[in-house]
Structure 1
């Protein structure tokens, strides 16, 4: 039976260690419950409002008018009063003031009456959307009014039509979050569609038919009938609101994936902090434990008492963590501002609390098992201060480490829900810790042999190897935590440099899309020399080596996939930023069958090599081509590239549009855009300088979110530093007293402790920097296909910052030791 008074005395005598233990548990709980609640809030909202997110029960999408068979089936079901349907067409186009003195690329949505079936389009005036969007009218986002300096009631030219702005849209159900839109939303009534003259053959338009089921139990039956009518044409997707993937869901799936990685890493570090703190607490109680054993207490009795102590502290930490999670919920809406759908209410989820408490309890038990188990090794002679030789890696340690690895693999699978990704993450995590361990161990071996002339530094190096020191574990933990944070910063810097900060000299910065074949020559005359034209033919990949592409499986990919409609092109040459990676030439002259060159990005999506056969459906016609070469890009950024390139002879006669890229002085972009829109209303202009600004804003917000949650890892590292100081507190006090007795001043002792923490911080930072540089290099070149810069200046600043952090924290915790009275310490020793 656990003695409550005994436990209270132990906690009163080790207040600092107990506080750090509680903070480690609280930190893990905050991470678990906050991320778990965030995921539950988003997923429950998306599930609850799934119909609103898609504005319908069934969604039919295509980049071309839907097949006649499917059109007939929709009409038949509508006539039988089984469904209601409403169509909309979504595309980008440049809108213009009638005076032709200002223009802007916008996201146009032409909608039929009845849209949306679920949810509502909220307008600034509060009026019903259906009554405002009538023929001849427009509903726009406020940013359009601000940028073009327009007001409600002003006219606006879209294509060949001049329409009147009637209201401002605040929210639409199937576009809850504007993650990366190239322009503001503009609603147009379907009655004005033909007047625009923007939707034609080869236009880059998404055709969407929304279907409402009048008898809900027939949802799956109707969906099956429509899918059958659509046939096997990969261009048409028929999905229900239950299985359709939305942009917001894909975004949060990916964001939560990376945040969960950070959360698991923080949980691991918190576990190390719990273990280190308990070792420190039990070390201070070693003589008490020895006395208890001398009086006949068994190891099981003692372990039970201290297990009770850890459970009490774990409970206090859990309560503190839950309180912290509640407080954090108030900050999360600010952190995720602009990224959270309006219908998502962030709150602490009961399920996340239960799961967090269960996982937190397992973490406490797992990381306290080894310190508690080693109480068996404390002998009664420890009463006299005899040090016991302890083997760090014995059979029990290996068993506990194996159980820990299995536990974290289980955690990864629960959080990431992907076995392959989980195994890769565990392998990366083990590699990170192993590399940190080897480098730290080698550095400590070197430092142990070094004999610096400076006395304070020499004593500081000796302090790294004092009895029960935690120098190695501190360095490994800090190195791993800092390496992750350094890598995030370095990858972000490289992303900014590649996509945001600048364009390579001479690279195009304005793109023109949907140029019709008969417009190419007059368009080229207007923009002048230097415009590069690329033909675009729409098509779908249907099979690789006669193995059909599974659209459902492909769309589960976190990145791009082969299930979507592709932009194909034809040419007989490589672009300036391309080179052949596999194969001798772009196309083989000794092959008579159709050929295709693929970008290496495609090979990452689906395994294929030179000589393989890839089947396409192009404008409804099947074509099978043989892979003649694999290309790679030598630069990244917003420059044109194509996954599939055919010879001229294969695609030159296919229905097509042209894409043009031009280098324009920033000051002249607006004037050129106005001239192009006036002469060619169907041509959309993409100003990459504006696109880069939008992309940069999103990147900064996402980086802030990732850095915020990664900072919990740093907090865990700081707690480990504090716990390590407590673990060696007795030895540090002893050193300080002996220095004082030998005539050293307090300033000298301070220098010794400062030098010790400086070495720990510097070594940890250097190791972290080396690992992060290697990791960032691999991520940028292999994962993101972009060049890598080491950013030595920024890296040195990160190194300096982390070193100072370790120095300040270490000194702050060790400072009370300097004021220990030698007389009091010696009297305590003589009493013992």
Structure 2
């Protein structure tokens, strides 16, 4: 019976099926991608690091650390730091990451260069490997020279890739690899220079790296060094991409939810039209279970076939994700097909379709044989308890599935709650609109306009579900556009003339006046002269840091105990700071207590509050201080911010270096300033913030591609739900149109009534979505980004008319039968 009835309604059932296919395809493709990503990371873990484990230190290793390093006999080592380099051929300068390498690194994977052979010969020949993109930018070729500090080296070849680097990190500071023996000759490792010493090891497969890490990590931690194994590093990398996968999974899940809501609404009308036939079956002796199973089998079949088709489509489109995320992946992703996500897709199709169709399906259970004589809007209603039980089951399933995706109960609860609230707002706005139309009905409008408005709250209307379907897709993609505009506006604000866009680091005390003169000679302002003093914490609240490191029950975050703080001193707050607690101390006189100001994140992580004592080790000299105030710091602002700020009158005589900032109007001026400064002061490092802004914009573009891709599923699912919903109510609308023709309405009037109705639906759905996106983006701008919100016009000029026209086209296609045929012919055909 289920098969026979399905054959008679195959077009409508296919539309139900199409509602969930895209959602299943999205979930399966992302599940496959996430599984492939994890497998690739595990399989290529050694290639990603280039070694089995690494010991690294942010300073010259201490005696204790060096003893541990030497006892393990490193197979290769390097020192790396960020610095400026110059190309004598054309005078160009660039901020790069210099890596002084010695030994046969990498042990796994390869250094890819052009020519290929120089990857193995550059250390012996004494040449430099320069990032390939950097060479193109400055038109450099193998054989040309590169100036690193006081040293000029020949370029041995172009560096295309090396284990341990990513596209994003190399965009800011491209790598330049030189032999380790030349590092001293560069004269770049001066006081205050940021540097990292790394020692690479290759071990036998029998060595237990986890045991080695557990044994050595505490000892190295005491010596301000760190140990990373290829397994622990790739676990961190996996967790980072796992978060991306969770976000994409949730976005796909929303598309699936949208399709399921479409199924619930369409099945509701479908079953309603079958109630009379079900009542007749019961008059002929069919049991409740039989009538229920007839339609349950149909919906379950839709779920199985839809899940299978969606899974196959998901297999086809998962290959797009490596392309969309290639800028964020440090390796080439190898795609393989696995059974688990496909099985999940099929099961998800069955469970979701049956679960969301269960409420209308239950009406078949409660149909009375007497309903064959009286089928109306309020007949065959299921008990309220049953309805609440079904709703509760749906929410529990959504929570459990979200928990499986996110692996965090609180986040899963927040996601389900947020989704329910969003759907409720969309449905509430649609219901409110219907009530407002009823309450303030425009009685003086023309007949066709009034009739089209009446259609929005006729029996079997789809107004609410259409507004939810259209509104959610529009909401997702509009929020993306608005949020991207907020972030881009933020970078534009940072680039105004009053803000610095050039930062000059590592200026030694004896160079201060000369560097300032070089800047002002070009008629550029010196906006800030910021002194920097490096120090470490010696004790917190009377407890030595070394003792805290050994305390496994401590609540203080580990980074506090090992961090080398770069502090400054000044007499006033900056625009990016706000005093939260305590009193700001601008200056301190001799023999007075030293009251410092700390950032709120440092106060939280170090468990410090106003009045607590802190002792710093300032290059071997212990300095007692007291926390005088706590500041809120806007770290998002692209300027120098500090965790610890001293008052004036304390650190002036301490070993220090300086940072200058200036503003350059154009790229040519920036290039000239950088070239002249590097030529005169090779040790200084120059950061052009415009390049950072460009990188931010590029990352935003990449992220927007990914989110657009997911929003596409929601939009397309919404369109399919729209088609299904409109087509499902086709028969009700046809009867109304036939009745109007019988009463004398012309084709033009019927066409106009239908057109206006669909225009109202399209406008309402897209406008509700955009209004919700405006509200959410405004909240993001005010409470997250602290920026003014200027919305983009793209959603208004593209989505509103585009979606409205789409709804109009789908709707008008439904009444062609009426317009082409006589009323009697249509009624006979539909009958």
Determine if the TM-score, normalized by the shorter chain, exceeds 0.5.
yes
Alignment of structure 1 residues 186-585 onto 2, 5 Å = 186-214=176-204, 216-232=206-222, 235-244=224-233, 249=238, 251-384=240-373, 386-389=375-378, 394-452=384-442, 453-499=445-491, 503-528=495-520, 529-538=525-534, 566-583=565-582, 585=584
Alignment of structure 1 residues 557-636 onto 2, 5 Å = 566-583=565-582, 585=584, 594-599=594-599, 625-626=626-627, 628-633=629-634
The equivalent residue for 1:93 is: 83
After superposition, the Cα gap between the structure-2 partners of 1:471 and 1:642, relative to the gap in structure 1 and judged at 3 Å, is same
**Does the 8 Å CA contact 1:467/1:728 hold for their aligned counterparts?**
no
1:142-189 CA distance string (max 9 Å, x none): 212211111111111111111111122222121154356313221111
The equivalent residue for 2:55 is: 60
Q: Give 3-state SS (helix, strand or coil) of 1:203's partner.
A: coil
Q: How far, CA to CA, are the matches of 2:616 and 2:29 in structure 1?
A: 46
1:767-822 CA distance string (max 9 Å, x none): 22332222112223333x33031326345324444444443444445555544641
Alignment of structure 1 residues 96-245 onto 2, 5 Å = 96-99=86-89, 101-127=91-117, 129-134=119-124, 136-178=126-168, 181-214=171-204, 216-232=206-222, 235-244=224-233
Q: Give 3-state SS (helix, strand or coil) of 2:124's partner.
A: coil
1:506-551 CA distance string (max 9 Å, x none): 2111111222233222211211242412233445679987896999
The equivalent residue for 1:81 is: none
**Does the 8 Å CA contact 1:541/1:549 hold for their aligned counterparts?**
no
Q: Give 3-state SS (helix, strand or coil) of 1:47's partner.
A: helix
Structure 1: tracts of 5 or more residues without a match: 1-5, 79-83
Q: Give 3-state SS (helix, strand or coil) of 2:168's partner.
A: coil
The equivalent residue for 1:724 is: 725
Q: How far, CA to CA, are the matches of 1:827 and 1:460 in structure 2?
A: 26
After superposition, the Cα gap between the structure-2 partners of 1:609 and 1:450, relative to the gap in structure 1 and judged at 3 Å, is farther
**Does the 8 Å CA contact 1:50/1:241 hold for their aligned counterparts?**
yes
Alignment partner of 2:9 out of 14, 25, 50: 14
After superposition, the Cα gap between the structure-2 partners of 1:387 and 1:31, relative to the gap in structure 1 and judged at 3 Å, is same
After superposition, the Cα gap between the structure-2 partners of 1:826 and 1:148, relative to the gap in structure 1 and judged at 3 Å, is closer
Alignment partner of 1:70 out of 65, 70, 85: 65
Q: How far, CA to CA, are the matches of 1:768 and 1:619 in structure 2?
A: 58
The equivalent residue for 2:702 is: 701
User: Are residues 1:665 and 2:665 paired?
Assistant: yes
**Does the 8 Å CA contact 2:15/2:724 hold for their aligned counterparts?**
yes
**Does the 8 Å CA contact 2:817/2:826 hold for their aligned counterparts?**
no
After superposition, the Cα gap between the structure-2 partners of 1:301 and 1:123, relative to the gap in structure 1 and judged at 3 Å, is same
- How far is the alpha carbon of 1:40 from its aligned partner? 1.0
Alignment partner of 2:40 out of 36, 45, 55: 45
After superposition, the Cα gap between the structure-2 partners of 1:420 and 1:543, relative to the gap in structure 1 and judged at 3 Å, is farther
After superposition, the Cα gap between the structure-2 partners of 1:9 and 1:173, relative to the gap in structure 1 and judged at 3 Å, is same
1:696-739 CA distance string (max 9 Å, x none): 12211110111111211112222222232233222201111112
After superposition, the Cα gap between the structure-2 partners of 1:536 and 1:42, relative to the gap in structure 1 and judged at 3 Å, is farther
Q: How far, CA to CA, are the matches of 2:9 and 2:614 in structure 1?
A: 69
Q: Give 3-state SS (helix, strand or coil) of 1:779's partner.
A: helix
- How far is the alpha carbon of 1:240 from its aligned partner? 1.8
**Does the 8 Å CA contact 1:280/1:727 hold for their aligned counterparts?**
yes
- How far is the alpha carbon of 1:673 from its aligned partner? 0.5
After superposition, the Cα gap between the structure-2 partners of 1:72 and 1:825, relative to the gap in structure 1 and judged at 3 Å, is same
**Does the 8 Å CA contact 1:176/1:248 hold for their aligned counterparts?**
no
Q: Give 3-state SS (helix, strand or coil) of 1:150's partner.
A: coil
**Does the 8 Å CA contact 2:42/2:234 hold for their aligned counterparts?**
no
The equivalent residue for 2:743 is: 742
Q: How far, CA to CA, are the matches of 1:312 and 1:554 in structure 2?
A: 57
- How far is the alpha carbon of 1:12 from its aligned partner? 2.5
Structure 2: tracts of 5 or more residues without a match: none
The equivalent residue for 1:645 is: 645
**Does the 8 Å CA contact 1:456/1:752 hold for their aligned counterparts?**
yes
After superposition, the Cα gap between the structure-2 partners of 1:355 and 1:128, relative to the gap in structure 1 and judged at 3 Å, is farther
**Does the 8 Å CA contact 2:577/2:631 hold for their aligned counterparts?**
no
After superposition, the Cα gap between the structure-2 partners of 1:401 and 1:481, relative to the gap in structure 1 and judged at 3 Å, is farther
- How far is the alpha carbon of 1:353 from its aligned partner? 2.0
Q: Give 3-state SS (helix, strand or coil) of 1:178's partner.
A: helix
**Does the 8 Å CA contact 1:58/1:211 hold for their aligned counterparts?**
yes
- How far is the alpha carbon of 1:382 from its aligned partner? 4.5
After superposition, the Cα gap between the structure-2 partners of 1:216 and 1:177, relative to the gap in structure 1 and judged at 3 Å, is farther
- How far is the alpha carbon of 1:432 from its aligned partner? 1.9
- How far is the alpha carbon of 1:72 from its aligned partner? 0.7
What's the TM-score once normalised by structure 2's chain length? Answer: 0.89
Alignment coverage as a number of residue pairs: 814
After superposition, the Cα gap between the structure-2 partners of 1:629 and 1:437, relative to the gap in structure 1 and judged at 3 Å, is same
- How far is the alpha carbon of 1:494 from its aligned partner? 0.7
What's the TM-score once normalised by structure 1's chain length? Answer: 0.89
**Does the 8 Å CA contact 2:19/2:259 hold for their aligned counterparts?**
yes
After superposition, the Cα gap between the structure-2 partners of 1:33 and 1:386, relative to the gap in structure 1 and judged at 3 Å, is same
Q: How far, CA to CA, are the matches of 2:14 and 2:506 in structure 1?
A: 65
Q: Give 3-state SS (helix, strand or coil) of 2:78's partner.
A: strand
Q: Give 3-state SS (helix, strand or coil) of 2:46's partner.
A: helix
User: Are residues 1:674 and 2:675 paired?
Assistant: yes
Q: How far, CA to CA, are the matches of 1:402 and 1:379 in structure 2?
A: 26
- How far is the alpha carbon of 1:446 from its aligned partner? 0.4
Q: How far, CA to CA, are the matches of 2:411 and 2:83 in structure 1?
A: 40
Q: How far, CA to CA, are the matches of 2:99 and 2:810 in structure 1?
A: 56
The equivalent residue for 2:778 is: 777
After superposition, the Cα gap between the structure-2 partners of 1:341 and 1:630, relative to the gap in structure 1 and judged at 3 Å, is closer
- How far is the alpha carbon of 1:462 from its aligned partner? 1.2
Which moves more between the two structures, 278-287 or 322-331? 278-287
**Does the 8 Å CA contact 2:221/2:562 hold for their aligned counterparts?**
no
- How far is the alpha carbon of 1:407 from its aligned partner? 1.6
Which moves more between the two structures, 281-290 or 457-466? 281-290
After superposition, the Cα gap between the structure-2 partners of 1:583 and 1:165, relative to the gap in structure 1 and judged at 3 Å, is same
- How far is the alpha carbon of 1:249 from its aligned partner? 4.2
- How far is the alpha carbon of 1:198 from its aligned partner? 1.6
The equivalent residue for 1:3 is: none
- How far is the alpha carbon of 1:677 from its aligned partner? 0.7
